[in-house]
């Protein structure tokens, strides 16, 4: 099955719509979302509704959980806290209720799905081979997908070798046929790898391949929505820098 995997939408409707168009053009049979539909961006209703309509699997991220009152806001930096408070007040109550039904992991697909990591599905940032090594020891699946770090990554461990891997740029492909793998599609709504384009992953669970993609979107429009909502200007400014 050809599956599009996305993460960290962060209420960026412009980016999410562009990715959904690209996913359809790529012929993906399903969409899996690894969480953080809300937070930072200014269009939570649109993004939650798009996920509810299009995603076969959707997880809850830490921002989603906080917006639903399931995590204390003092665990977030100031900009994130302000955006979560705004989201909890601005979002449609019915969509918030749907968001509250989501969990940060799902283990009954062909691959393991976690918002953050197999060791900590809510909070851990996996950004090094050492962290990946520790996650591999906890995985029930040979291949798993994670989000949360806003960076496209691929880590693997072959039998008898330590974990290795690094960031993945647009067009990067990985053969997953051998070894244990941990894949991060990068962020749809707020990439942090210096490339402002929305990131996503096309995963083929029959051929066991993964292809990393970037999709251009209306960054200025997303920034304008953030400013119109009177959220911190830094949240709008960072979009054009991919940081």
Per-residue pLDDT of 70-105, as tens digits, reads 999 999 999 999 999 999 999 999 999 999 999 999
Determine the pLDDT at residue 6.
Answer: 98
Please report, in angstroms and rounded to a whole number, the separation of the first and last CA atoms in the chain: 33
Between helix 44-54 and helix 13-26 the angle, nearest 10°, is 20
Determine the pLDDT at residue 178.
Answer: 97
Q: What's the pLDDT band for 58 if we cut at 50, 70, 90?
A: very high
Mean predicted confidence (pLDDT) in 105-113? 95
Mean predicted confidence (pLDDT) in 51-76? 97
Average pLDDT score over the chain: 97
Determine the pLDDT at residue 150.
Answer: 98
Q: Measured at the alpha carbon of residue 149, what is the angle toward residues 144 and 155, in degrees to the nearest 5?
A: 40
Determine the pLDDT at residue 94.
Answer: 98
Mean predicted confidence (pLDDT) in 188-208? 98
- Kindly write down the DSSP assignment for every residue of 86-155, as one continuous string: HHHHHS-HHHHHHHTT--SEE-SSSSEEESS-SS-TTT----SHHHHHHHHTT-SSSEEE--SSSSEEEE
Q: What's the pLDDT band for 179 if we cut at 50, 70, 90?
A: very high
Q: What's the pLDDT band for 213 if we cut at 50, 70, 90?
A: very high
Determine the pLDDT at residue 218.
Answer: 98
Determine the pLDDT at residue 49.
Answer: 98
Q: Are 132 and 169 in contact (CB under 8 A)?
A: no
Fold of 2-241: Purple Acid Phosphatase; chain A, domain 2 (3.60.21)
Domain boundaries defined on the chain: 2-241
């Amino acid at each position: 099955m050809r599956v599009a995997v996305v993460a960290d939408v962060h209420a960026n409707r412009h980016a999410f719509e562009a990715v959904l168009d690209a996913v359809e053009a790529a012929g993906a049979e399903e969409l899996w979302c690894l969480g953080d539909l809300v937070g930072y961006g200014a269009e939570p209703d649109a993004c939650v509704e798009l996920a509810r309509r299009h995603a076969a699997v959707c997880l809850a991220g830490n921002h989603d959980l906080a917006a639903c009152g399931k995590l204390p806001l003092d665990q977030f930096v100031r900009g994130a806290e302000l955006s979560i408070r705004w989201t909890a007040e601005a979002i449609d109550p019915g969509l918030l209720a749907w968001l509250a039904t989501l969990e940060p992991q799902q283990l009954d697909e062909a691959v393991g799905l976690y918002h953050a990591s197999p060791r900590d599905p809510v909070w851990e940032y996996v950004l090094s081979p050492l962290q990946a090594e520790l996650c591999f020891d906890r995985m029930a699946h040979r291949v798993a997908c994670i989000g949360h770090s806003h960076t496209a990554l691929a880590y693997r461990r072959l039998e008898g070798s330590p974990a290795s891997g690094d960031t993945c740029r647009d067009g990067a492909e990985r053969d997953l046929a051998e070894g244990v793998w941990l894949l991060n599609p990068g962020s749809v709504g707020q990439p942090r790898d210096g490339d402002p384009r929305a990131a996503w992953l096309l995963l083929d669970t029959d051929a066991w391949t993964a292809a990393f993609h970037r999709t251009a979107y209306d960054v200025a429009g997303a920034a304008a929505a953030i400013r119109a909502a009177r959220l911190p200007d830094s949240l709008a400014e960072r979009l054009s820098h991919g940081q």
